[in-house]
Amino acid sequence: MRLNMTQGVTDISASVYNLHMIIFYICCVIGIVVFGIMFWSIIHHRKSKGAKPANFHESTKVEILWTAIPFVILIAMAFPATKTLIEMEDTTDADLTVQVTGSQWKWHYRYFEHDLDYYSLLATPQSEIHNKIAKSANYLLEVDRPLVIPTGQKVRFLITSDDVIHSWWVPEFAIKKDANPGFINEAWTRVNEPGIYRGQCAELCGKDHGFMPIVVIAKEPAEFNKWMAEQTEIAKNAKAEEQKLLSMNMSMEELMTLGEKVYNANCAACHQQNGQGIPGVFPGLKDSAIALGDVKEHINIVVNGKAGTAMQAFGKQLALKDLAAIVTYERNAWGNNTGDVVQAAAINEFLVDK
């Protein structure tokens, strides 16, 4: 039934589902018995049949019965529940460990056994969100880079947060763990079948809480190893390419084109495409002190964010050229026209100095 709990795709999710159904049926039996006795008593001991009420204050036997019976039922329910909970919390002997970090409003994944980490962001186009085109089947449940794990292997998740409390929830894995800043919660899964599994942040974490989906792709071990080798090589080449950019200068036109693209993907949700922000909620960048003021302070805000606000740090999320492009764009778009051109080398110099 669509209204029932999902059976999931892991042994743990199956155990959770079975436990849920056992408790559900026990509750159904208790309900039938209690309401059956109640209605039987109402019908057969009514005044019109000449029933006389019993005249006693209390009964030791009844007191013992209605205390002992629920106690026995709870003990019987506790055994399978405890067994399942212990299994869910046993993260030992994992084949792969992935650190999951929530931030407003995206997920960051880092593979401990491999030199790979990346951010996973909502991929649903703004045109769907603003009802300009028809919504897709997986509306608000698509990401640009899903988490990829191998099937048949125990994967441990270390779940934390960069800012506020989030919650990493994948129903088909029977995993729902809070991501608390400064703390690490553990969870694990072993997916039996290849496939695509979706979830969401399940903790109200701010303005874009509903735009923080989770997509996990489970691949056969051989396919996973191939994917990992490819991604590691891509990341290595990207770092090498980034170093080359330090000795190159992009033109104002190139920076503005790239900057507009990066801005719309990462900043427009708060500061708006027209740069005017949302009055009283998110500051505008048009004619702002940040965009027209000191370049280094502007770079600092983009790279490190601002504590105590929704302005997050993009230093670890974006490449050097993207950071350079976005600062250049913000300083020259919407009539700001400072003429400032920020290159990747300037961003790298700022990071080195810090």
Residue 85: per-residue pLDDT: 92
Residue 63: per-residue pLDDT: 86
pTM over 0.85: no
Q: How far apart are CA 77 and CA 209, in angstroms?
A: 36
Residue 310: per-residue pLDDT: 75
Q: How far apart are CA 245 and CA 253, in angstroms?
A: 16
320-332 helix and 344-353 helix, angle to the nearest 10 degrees: 110
As given in the structure block, the two tokens for residue 37 are: 């006795």
Contact partners, residue 221, CB within 8 Å, separation at least 6: 150, 151, 152, 153
Residue 115: per-residue pLDDT: 87
Q: What is the DSSP code string of 22-60?
A: HHHHHHHHHHHHHHHHHHHHHHHT-GGGT------S--H
Residue 170: per-residue pLDDT: 95
From residue 197, how far is each of 172, 185, 187 by CA, in Å? 7, 21, 16
Q: What is the mean pLDDT of each run of 10 residues along the chain (354 residues)?
A: 84 93 93 94 86 78 88 91 92 94 92 91 86 90 94 96 93 94 94 94 90 96 95 86 75 91 87 89 89 91 83 83 91 91 86 72
From residue 303, how far is each of 162, 232, 271, 320, 348 by CA, in Å? 14, 24, 16, 10, 11
